[in-house]
Amino acid sequence: MDFLTLFAIYVVVVLICIVLVCKYSGQQQTPFNALLNNIGKVVGPFTPKWLQTFSQRTLHKLFHQRNNMFIYLHVLLEGAVYAEFTYEVFGFCREMDTTLSSLSVPYVLLAIKTFFFYLCIKRDPGTVTKKKVSGQLHIYPYDGRLFQPGVSCPTCQLVKPARSKHCRVCNRCVQRFDHHCVWVNNCIGAQNTRYFLLYLFSVCAMAGDIALLTGDMLLHAVLRSGLLTASYIDDYGQQQPAGPLFVVQHLFLTFPRIVFMLGFLIFVFFLLAGYALFHSYLALVNQTANEWYKSRGYVCQHCHPTAPADLPTDHTKRYYYSRGLLPNLGEIFFPPLPVQKKHN
């Protein structure tokens, strides 16, 4: 069971890294930055200058400039999963008399996901420009807390509309800015949030469906082999019934690529499902990820009567732009366009 132990350690380490990234996202000083700085100080004197320069430029290009690297990585991982599913799982499922309509669902979902993925990449998120800024200023009122009137972007040299933010990666101000997504190499804003949500749900559905088909195949393989009623001789010469751990180990040895793919899909499904639910919540309350992050210290006095007196406690201001469930969803899927001034 050494392999299972190592795999469990791997999953725990990945989960801890994800938690740390979520916890410290958007903060300038993080334990990760401190760790990198300390490592740099230790290995710096022994590292050639050209390698230091190359590493700094590579990291800067990956995370601080627009780059297609994560799009290529996304396509590579997706291609590996579908190649394994088509090459091995599809054939096993056909032997188990799984219908072609059920096996075709992952490919249909792939086409749907690719369509929304393309729109997330190519669709303008709502860039604030000189031509549009006068109309964009009238889309949302300023809440007087997160967004103040008359504030100009020092980079774009334009007055910032309410709910907009300057993206340092794309080097532009974006209307109703949510976040910059490296996986689509684009900002998520007013004009492409709907595609991003549909993209997330289609990826979750795709991963979940392939995981169910793969899990069903492995279950049938175990039932046909009779492992559940089998036994084995342990190191002490005693006969022991084959338990769940023995079955899992057998599956790892018999179908290593399929089992690893299944673990990867389950991990991706729960990770993206949580992320999709979080963005669904934001859509229901008409709040962006940027606004949620900035207002995390803002509490509701009705919900938290024991909150410290020095914290702002106006619930209506925290959800200033919420207009109700259906209007909020309507704003996501039918975003308001810049107000056009009438010329006499």
Domains identified in the chain, total number? 1
Catalytic residue among 93, 156, 181, 204: 181
Examine residue 73 and state whether it is found in any structural domain, yes or no: no
| pLDDT per position as a tens digit, 8-19 | 676 677 667 656
| pLDDT per position as a tens digit, 204-225 | 999 999 999 999 999 888 888 7
Examine residue 151 and state whether it is found in any structural domain, yes or no: yes
- Average pLDDT estimate for 259-273: 89
The tokens for 243 are 């338990």
Task: Kindly state the helix (H) or strand (E) to which residue 185 belongs, with its residue range.
Answer: none
Examine residue 163 and state whether it is found in any structural domain, yes or no: yes
Helices (H), 285-324: 289-294, 315-318
Rounded to an integer, what distance in angstroms lies between the CA atom of residue 113 and that of residue 124? 18
**Percent over 90 (pLDDT), the chain:** 48
Examine residue 324 and state whether it is found in any structural domain, yes or no: no
Going 220 to 221 to 224 to 226, the CA torsion angle's sign is: negative
Residue 181 among the catalytic residues = yes
Examine residue 251 and state whether it is found in any structural domain, yes or no: no
Examine residue 157 and state whether it is found in any structural domain, yes or no: yes
| pLDDT on residue 130 | 93
Give residue 148's domain range: 127-175
Rounded to an integer, what distance in angstroms lies between the CA atom of residue 87 and that of residue 264? 17
Instruction: Give the residue from 120, 101, 139 showing the smallest Cα distance to 193.
Output: 120
Examine residue 264 and state whether it is found in any structural domain, yes or no: no
312-318 contacts at long range (C-beta below 8 A, 24 or more positions apart): 312/145, 317/143, 317/145
Rounded to an integer, what distance in angstroms lies between the CA atom of residue 237 and that of residue 287? 64
Examine residue 140 and state whether it is found in any structural domain, yes or no: yes
Residues 6 or more apart from 64 whose CB is under 8 A from it? Answer: 168, 169
Name the average pLDDT for the chain: 81
| pLDDT on residue 341 | 58
